[in-house]
Amino acid sequence: MDKSIKAKKNSQLVVRINDAQRDRFVSLCEELDTSAAREVRRFIRQFLAEHENRLEKPD
């Protein structure tokens, strides 16, 4: 996708994790000058790219 044309963010994903993990994750994201949401979206894009490519290749 062209980075100048961004898809609208119109959906939510609820993930249940324990309080300590959430707090550590949010704190680390703040230290790295990013947001938790940005990092989760980055993970999802990377995960899809890696795994969709594998599924498209014939055996």
Domain span holding position 44: 19-56
4 domain-assigned: no
Please list the rounded mean pLDDT of every run of 10 residues in the chain (59 residues).
Answer: 71 96 98 97 94 73
Distances in whole angstroms, Cα of residue 28 to Cα of each of 15, 18, 22, 23: 18, 16, 10, 8
Q: Give the per-residue pLDDT at 33.
A: 98
Distances in whole angstroms, Cα of residue 50 to Cα of each of 11, 44, 46: 22, 10, 6
Q: Give the per-residue pLDDT at 30.
A: 98
11 domain-assigned: no
- Number of folded domains that form the chain: 1
Rg of the chain over Cα atoms, rounded to whole angstroms, equals 15
Within 8 A by CB and 6+ apart from 36, the residues are 25, 26, 29
